[in-house]
Amino acid sequence: MNDKQNGRKYYRRLLISQYVPKLIFMLVSLVIYLGATYQYILGKNFTRYRTFSIWSFLWITLTMGILLTWKKQVSEKRNKVYRVLSTIFISTNSFFFSESIYQKKMYQQLRLRAVLITIIVVTILSLCLQKILLRCRIVLYGQLLVALLFGCANYYMIEFKGNVLRPCELLAWNTGLKVAGGYTYAVTDRMQESLIAIAFGILIIRFNKDKIVCKHSALKNILVGGGLTFGCIFLIFSVSWSSLFKLHMDAWEMNNTYYQNGTFLAFIMEIQCMNVEKPQNYSVEEVEHTLSSYGEETVTDEGELPNIICIMNESFADLSVLGPIDTSVEMQAYHQINDYVKKGNVYVPVYGGGTCNSEFEFLTGNSIGNLSKSMFPYQSVSLEKIFNLAEVCRSVGYDTIAFHPNYKSAWNREKVYDAFGIEKFLGIEDVQDAEYMRYYMSDRANYENIIELYNESRSVPKFIFNVTLQNHGGYDDINLLDKMKLVGIEEYSQYPDVITYRTLIRESCQALYDFLEYFRNIEQKIIVCFFGDHLPKLDEEFVEEIYGYSPGKLSEETELLEKRYKVPYMIWANYETDADKSEKDISLNYLGAVLMDIVGIHNPYIDYLLDLQKKIPVINAYGYQTADGVWHSPEEENKDVEEYKRVGYYMMQGS
């Protein structure tokens, strides 16, 4: 009897220790989840109870998974097979939850072959890494983490800038961090739901034995694994995915490339496009012959050279270019400037972000369309030999200065400006006690610094290049405008970002008006070139309302697409120039040449651009317009466009 009683006590203790805790966890979790589900069904309000349901389901998944796998591990004999299967599962799982975070219609847009290719390639790469590290779990956990980070990063990039996280953006990570504080980061339902997928992934990973048993020496295993990994990575970046598997890169809307192919493949395809390829039929002799026909460098000798002030105003745009919206209130001060030399709209290479590409086009006269719309030359191309306005002005006796009320390292400007021959570069580090508007220096304070730079010495003419920051993205918090009189509060009360933006533009226009008013009373010659860098990233519903198209579903009609790349420009002078006063739309790559022409500085490349403008008034990465006013897609061949690519390549490489 004693043996039987002892046996019963033993099994009772075993039952209590092994199963009761698991049962309690399961019951508690089930009650919580069912309660949330019942409330949802009863209340018919998914938004109200969704978060509670998500976290309840996450809780039950994790607790059950951890308890069930606490002591149950797959046997050594079967672990190898299970490791491969679990790696396939994690690759599939991480792919879909990462894409679902930022894609609203994932299953409708993703291409099946792109999904399969990604899962196969990522699985092989993961197994190779496991071979090197001799650890299974750490690699698989890393996959889940990377997928989560990329999914969230893509979501926030789309929200704030209108584009996904692209390779060129990643190269400029330090710039992004410096303006990241100006945005509001909300944790979305999709991010929370992705945690359920991660919980299932953790459950699967826990069945694996972490340490991989290897029959060979550690060194040999690392060498074999390293060789396999290197070979895998080499193939990933050397294979032409777009041509081999017919994976289309959308030249109209780069986000669609990510929506259709997934982040992994789209990211790689973009990296492959970042190399500056030599144009077809390129010949140094032919380009030099073309440029030589435009004569030599000259400077109009009519006394003193004017001081040149170039202002690229952050996110400065007239929203009426998109559709029917009255912007007369915020643009009033801008339109009151009637003593301009040239005025109109300028077509830029970016939308919602990517300021440095607009800067590149203006300063170099080269078009991003000659390179790749996925490239940020400031980050990825050597610019030591490239033609630029600062170097041209410096060569004829100007002091060259740049000012930007942000950190000098933003967009790699410190190194780029040095390569451009800019002698003095001031950033936010060099400014004290400035007026701020929201998180950024106000345009008024920005212009006060420009005036100080001009007044430091008037004995030598100055070329000053300025990039403002007041209107930078992050418009959601309307309260940051303090007690300002708001623009559009009645018509667009449902869009606080639109109200914030329009109010900022009103302040920006008034600051510009007052800035020019100061120089009207200066006897020295002053010429100011002012332009916006891109349109802002605003609420997609608002854009669709006035534009007629969702930014993610644009028609492939070039003229319609180009509206998103259209911002104001103005060239103003406090003295009589030889140029005829006119209003004309051009593209940004020509604006610097037009400015130099008014100043009286010429060289073969400037004259070439002025001549090309007559034949191709507008050109960027999304298309071009011929002299007859007809728009063409980038794929349509044109001898002048092809020649411009060859000349642009020559001016970048110096040969």
Q: Name the pLDDT band for 101 (thresholds 50, 70, 90).
A: confident
Identify the pLDDT of residue 183.
Answer: 65
The percentage of residues in the chain with a pLDDT greater than 90, rounded to a whole number, is: 41
User: How far is residue 327 from each of residues 38, 317, 530, measured CA to CA in Å?
Assistant: 50, 10, 19
> Which has the closest alpha carbon to 428: 416, 439, 415, 417?
439
Average pLDDT over residues 23-43: 54
Higher pLDDT, 125 or 58: 125
Q: Name the pLDDT band for 258 (thresholds 50, 70, 90).
A: confident
User: Cα(71)–Cα(74) distance, rounded to whole angstroms?
Assistant: 10
Can you read off the two tokens belonging to residue 95? 């792919």
Three-class DSSP category at 26: helix
Can you read off the two tokens belonging to residue 369? 């369309």
User: Cα(351)–Cα(160) distance, rounded to whole angstroms?
Assistant: 11
Identify the pLDDT of residue 27.
Answer: 62
Q: Where are the alpha helices (DSSP H) in 293-442?
A: 332-335, 355-364, 377-380, 389-395, 413-420
The percentage of residues in the chain with a pLDDT greater than 70, rounded to a whole number, is: 79
Q: Where are the alpha helices (DSSP H) in 162-294?
A: 167-171, 173-179, 189-206, 218-238, 241-244, 254-272, 284-292
H-helix or E-strand containing 64?
A: helix 46-68
Strand partners, 312: 467, 531
> Which has the closest alpha carbon to 621: 634, 632, 602, 608?
634
User: Cα(270)–Cα(258) distance, rounded to whole angstroms?
Assistant: 10
Identify the pLDDT of residue 653.
Answer: 80
Strand partners, 619: 624
Average pLDDT over residues 240-255: 66
Identify the pLDDT of residue 597.
Answer: 95
Q: What is the pTM of this model?
A: 0.72
Q: Name the pLDDT band for 5 (thresholds 50, 70, 90).
A: low
Average pLDDT over residues 127-155: 87
Q: What is the pLDDT of residues 284-323, one digit of tens each?
A: 999 999 999 997 878 876 678 999 999 999 999 999 999 9
User: Cα(466)–Cα(470) distance, rounded to whole angstroms?
Assistant: 13
Identify the pLDDT of residue 26.
Answer: 56
Poorest-pLDDT segment among 109-123, 355-369, 591-605: 109-123
Three-class DSSP category at 60: helix
Identify the pLDDT of residue 384.
Answer: 83
Q: Name the pLDDT band for 501 (thresholds 50, 70, 90).
A: very high
Query: CB–CB of 446/466 below 8 Å?
Result: yes
The amino acid occupying position 509 is C
Can you read off the two tokens belonging to residue 429? 């580090």
> Which has the closest alpha carbon to 278: 367, 371, 388, 374?
371
User: Cα(447)–Cα(207) distance, rounded to whole angstroms?
Assistant: 63
Q: Name the pLDDT band for 41 (thresholds 50, 70, 90).
A: very low
The amino acid occupying position 292 is S
Q: Name the pLDDT band for 252 (thresholds 50, 70, 90).
A: very low
User: Cα(306)–Cα(514) distance, rounded to whole angstroms?
Assistant: 20
